[in-house]
């Protein structure tokens, strides 16, 4: 027993040290936890710290359950319900494009239906943790496209719950009648949990409520494990049971305290889950799936960019915002590994494990690099893909954080020409209005660039377009667009 503890302790310590080193370069932690398991597991040549990965099975299951439970507790139900039609369409388009691409990749690779369904989910669902960390590290929390990105990953999480619930019976591989019964049972259990989330929050709060943090933590973990285990018994993934009981807790007065208490447990045991997944991967098998992974990565990048363009068009964003959306939601992580774990447990094609492991590792490196370098992509996205002419500001990221709004004194004008161009007998392309003095001048696509010249002469920072169908403002000092947040009237 003591030998096992030494090996597990050393493995988790090394995983933490690798993750800490990776964080210094802005990398997410998940790939480094996996890497520690891959390099120090029994399926890889070299030192082995844990001879029997199944020894970590219970701890890994606890990590998976707590990971999904905490997600349920944090899930902003009101934000999704009040997000509006445009965000729902954007998120739906993202899911359809990416999941369909994943399913197509599975079919191209010649895998069966069940394997293709797993690949569809693994390639189609972003990592909430990686996306959120990218937004923070790239200082884009105030960008106008950021609420759309967060809305997409939130709705993705909800889709994941439904997808896992329907996929679990399919992975069991029963006959048509058995499959229909299992899916009906899973759906019925989901409905029961949703109803409990809607009407049973007060009762659950009374059951687990305690003024002492120690007792609250014990009671919460007990309830989570009980519901997760019951979910697994009735044919629904234990992860889904944990997610939905998290939704119930999120509707109680205990939400904030539970989030704080469970977070350290989630992080520790989730790390064990990722390490345990790495232990099951044979590094020798990675080479055989490398071409398939390369195809999947290229397809994922293309699908994400297409979804970014759709979202940008829906919200009237420009090229830079479209590139930001597509490349920020590129990261894959915990959810892909959950699906891989389910597939391996169901006895599906053993190549799925190495395929998804390498896929997640590659995207964990590619996603931050591409997201930080979205400007070159914005330069080549053609204007015809957008409803409005954004050429003037196509390379700027939109922001609501302008600090010069106190300089706004004039917002309307009846002018329909550039006076200086008329005086010189020249033509202009588009018109802009100074929001400080009301002067109207031509844009930077015009020969004379009188709007910029006005700023350089008088220092008035803000202009707005007066072109029909356009509603953006631009700050010369901040070098960014200034637009009302999502959901504001337009």
Counting Cα atoms < 13 Å in the Cβ hemisphere of 62 gives: 16
Q: Can you spell out the DSSP letters for 197-210?
A: HHH-HHHHHHHH--
Region for residue 236 given its phi and psi (left: phi exceeds 0; alpha: psi -120 to 50; beta: otherwise): beta
Using one digit for the tens of pLDDT, what is the confidence trace for 155-176? 887 787 778 777 877 776 655 5
Q: Which residues have a Cβ under 8 Å from the Cβ of 456 and sit 6 or more positions away? A: none
Burial class (CB in 10 A: 0-12, 13-18, 19+), 105: buried
Report, in this order, helix, strand and coil percent for the chain, each rounded to 5: 65, 5, 30
For the chain, which residues make up each domain, given as ranges?
A: 2-380, 400-482
Contact, 73 vs 258, CB < 8 A? yes
DSSP H helices, 109-212, are 113-124, 128-137, 146-171, 176-199, 201-208
- Cα 437 to Cα 463: distance, rounded to the nearest angstrom: 10
Query: Which residue's entry shows tokens 């409803």?
Result: 387
Top-level CATH class of 2-380? mainly alpha
Pick the CATH number of 400-482 from 3.40.309.10, 3.30.40.10, 3.30.420.10, 3.40.710.10: 3.30.40.10
Contact, 243 vs 69, CB < 8 A? yes
DSSP state of 332: -
Cross-strand pairs, 480: 475
Question: How is residue 14 written in tokens?
Answer: 């090394």
Counting Cα atoms < 13 Å in the Cβ hemisphere of 325 gives: 33
All residue ranges of the chain with pLDDT < 70 are: 1-3, 26, 75-84, 129, 133, 136-137, 141-142, 144, 172-183, 186, 197, 235-237, 386-402, 469, 483-490
- Cα 312 to Cα 305: distance, rounded to the nearest angstrom: 10
Count of CB atoms within 10 A of residue 177's CB?
Answer: 8
């Amino acid at each position: 027993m003591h030998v096992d503890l030494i090996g597990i302790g050393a493995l988790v310590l090394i995983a933490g040290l690798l993750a800490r080193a990776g964080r210094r370069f802005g990398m997410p932690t998940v790939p480094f936890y996996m890497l520690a398991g891959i390099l120090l597991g029994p399926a890889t040549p070299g030192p082995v710290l844990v001879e029997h990965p199944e020894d970590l099975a219970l701890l890994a299951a606890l990590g998976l359950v707590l990971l999904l439970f905490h997600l349920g507790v944090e899930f902003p139900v009101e934000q999704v319900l009040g997000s509006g039609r445009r965000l729902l369409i954007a998120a739906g388009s993202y899911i359809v494009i990416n999941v369909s691409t994943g399913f197509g990749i599975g079919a191209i690779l010649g895998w069966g239906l069940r394997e293709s369904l797993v690949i569809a989910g693994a390639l189609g669902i972003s990592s909430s943790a990686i996306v959120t960390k990218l937004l923070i590290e790239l200082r884009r929390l105030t960008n106008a496209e950021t609420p759309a990105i967060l809305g997409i990953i939130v709705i993705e999480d909800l889709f994941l719950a439904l997808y896992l619930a329907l996929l679990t019976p399919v992975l069991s591989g029963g006959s048509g009648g058995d499959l229909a019964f299992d899916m009906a049972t899973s759906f019925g259990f989901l409905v029961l949990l949703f109803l409990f989330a809607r009407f049973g929050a007060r009762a659950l709060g009374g059951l687990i409520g305690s003024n002492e943090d120690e007792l609250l933590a014990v009671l919460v973990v007990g309830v989570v494990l009980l519901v997760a285990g019951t979910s697994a018994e009735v044919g629904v993934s234990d992860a889904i049971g944990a997610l939905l009981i998290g939704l119930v807790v999120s509707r109680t007065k205990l939400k904030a305290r539970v989030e704080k208490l469970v977070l350290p447990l989630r992080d520790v045991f989730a790390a064990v889950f990722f390490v345990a997944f790495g232990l099951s991967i044979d590094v020798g098998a990675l080479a055989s799936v490398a071409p398939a992974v390369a195809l999947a990565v290229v397809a994922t990048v293309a699908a994400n960019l297409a979804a970014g363009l759709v979202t940008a068009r829906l919200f009237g964003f420009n090229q830079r915002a479209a590139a930001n959306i597509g490349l920020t939601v590129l990261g894959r992580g915990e959810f892909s590994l959950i699906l891989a774990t389910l597939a391996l447990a169901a006895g599906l094609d053993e190549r799925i494990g190495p395929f998804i492991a390498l896929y997640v590792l590659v995207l964990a490196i590619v996603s931050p690099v591409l997201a930080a370098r979205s400007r070159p992509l914005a330069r080549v996205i053609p204007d015809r893909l957008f409803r409005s002419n954004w050429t003037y500001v196509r390379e700027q990221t939109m922001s609501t954080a302008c600090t010069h709004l106190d300089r706004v004194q004039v917002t309307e004008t009846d002018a329909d020409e550039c006076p200086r161009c008329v005086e010189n007998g020249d033509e202009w392309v588009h018109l802009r209005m100074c929001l400080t003095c009301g002067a109207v001048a031509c844009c930077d696509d015009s020969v004379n660039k009188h709007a910029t010249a006005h700023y350089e002469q008088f220092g008035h920072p803000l202009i707005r377009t007066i072109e029909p169908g356009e509603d953006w403002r631009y700050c010369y000092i901040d070098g960014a667009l200034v637009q009302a947040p999502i959901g504001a009237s337009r």
